Amino acid sequence: MHLAELELDLDVFSGPFDLLLTLVLREEVDLRELALAEVVLAYLDHLDARGDLDLEVTTEFIVLVAALLELKSRLLLPGEELEELLELEPGEAAEELLARMLEARRYRAAAAYLADVLADQPAVRFREAPLPAHLRRSSLEELEAAAWDPATLARALGGLLALPPKLDFSHISVMRVSVAERVAHLRALLRSAVALSFDDAVRGADRMTVAVTLWALLELYKRGEASWEQIEPFGEITVRRVPGARPGGPAGTP
């Protein structure tokens, strides 16, 4: 089968997968409106119906869906965070994306060109037979001594001893907050109150701190020191001290 055969019937689009891709790339279908899970489910149904698995096509599908997912996550990501990540202004980001797209596109076209060249070659074959024995090793054996400099060996080994440069993470914002710190913070709050609101616990904190605090809460839950409840999705999280629990050692060393 070919991916083009995959027919989709989604909320925002109905037709073949190929066309969907084209429309997404032309921004005629808004990727933000498109439920990619539905596309995956449709593909799985399609596979079920066919009963066989073509690895080539499946791989292509996975690659395309992964690309769509990445594109979509970029679209959904608030601009502020994207910039923090790329440290690029929208203009620069557009240039960078454009350069990447052009580069990828260029070599995809070159690949198509090579495929055509290959297809146009006359049906000739080249000889692959090994050299006759009397010509094979004579070269080295008839050699006068010391044709090669042993220093080339030492130099090659020296090259292998070189450690690659340390990766430079300076362009990525340094994590300023640790799980251990946030565990201590939650414990301190829970010592003075039986229950508290998660929002209060992270009031005024940046996104990273909120995420790490959630992690710290999971750690406390795992140790049986705290429980939490959330009545509805995106609702308030209430954190409760577990009666009788004693705060243990530092986080990360259960």
Partner 1 sequence: MSELARIIEALLFLASDPLAVTELCEVTGESAAAVGAALEELAEAFAPGERGLVLRELAGGFTLASDPIAEAAARALLAKPRLATLTPAQLETLAIVAYLAPVSRPEIARIRGVNADSPVASLLDRGLIEESGRSQFGAVVYRTTTLFLKVFGLQGAGELPDVAQWDPTPEEQRALRERLLAAGEARAGIASE
Q: Which of residues 70-129 bind partner 1 (CB under 8 A)?
A: 75, 77-82, 90-91, 93-95, 97-98, 100-115, 117-118, 120-129
Length of the chain: 254
d(CA 225, CA 239): 10
Q: Which of residues 29-58 bind partner 1 (CB under 8 A)?
A: 56
Report in angstroms how near the CB of residue 179 gets to partner 1 at its nearest: 25
Report in angstroms how near the CB of residue 226 gets to partner 1 at its nearest: 33
CB atoms within 10 A of CB 212: 23
d(CA 121, CA 114): 11
Taking the least distance from each CB to partner 1, the nearer of 90 and 224 is 90
Contact criterion met (CB below 8 Å) for 216 and 176: no
Taking the least distance from each CB to partner 1, the nearer of 108 and 222 is 108
Report in angstroms how near the CB of residue 234 gets to partner 1 at its nearest: 17
Taking the least distance from each CB to partner 1, the nearer of 41 and 111 is 111
Nearest to 246 by CA among 224, 214, 228: 224
CB-based contacts of 54: which residues, under 8 Å, 6+ apart? Answer: 1
The piece of 33-41, 135-143, 203-211, 219-227 that touches partner 1 (CB under 8 A) is 135-143
Taking the least distance from each CB to partner 1, the nearer of 90 and 250 is 90
d(CA 69, CA 67): 5
Report in angstroms how near the CB of residue 220 gets to partner 1 at its nearest: 32
Beta-strand relationship, 195-197 and 237-241: antiparallel
**Residue type at 45 in one-letter notation:** D
Report in angstroms how near the CB of residue 92 gets to partner 1 at its nearest: 9
Taking the least distance from each CB to partner 1, the nearer of 45 and 95 is 95
Taking the least distance from each CB to partner 1, the nearer of 102 and 231 is 102
Q: Which of residues 182-241 bind partner 1 (CB under 8 A)?
A: none
- Binds partner 1 by CB under 8 A, chosen from 51, 132, 233, 235: 132
Report in angstroms how near the CB of residue 203 gets to partner 1 at its nearest: 21
d(CA 35, CA 69): 10
Nearest to 2 by CA among 36, 46, 66, 35: 46
Taking the least distance from each CB to partner 1, the nearer of 150 and 249 is 150
Report in angstroms how near the CB of residue 144 gets to partner 1 at its nearest: 9
Cβ burial, residue 177 (10 Å; 0-12/13-18/19+): middle
How many residues bind to partner 1 according to rule CB under 8 A? Answer: 82
Q: Which of residues 147-176 bind partner 1 (CB under 8 A)?
A: 147-165, 167
- Binds partner 1 by CB under 8 A, chosen from 142, 168, 169, 243: 142
- Residue 165 CA, chain-centre distance (Å), reads 23
- Token pair, residue 254, equals 């259960």
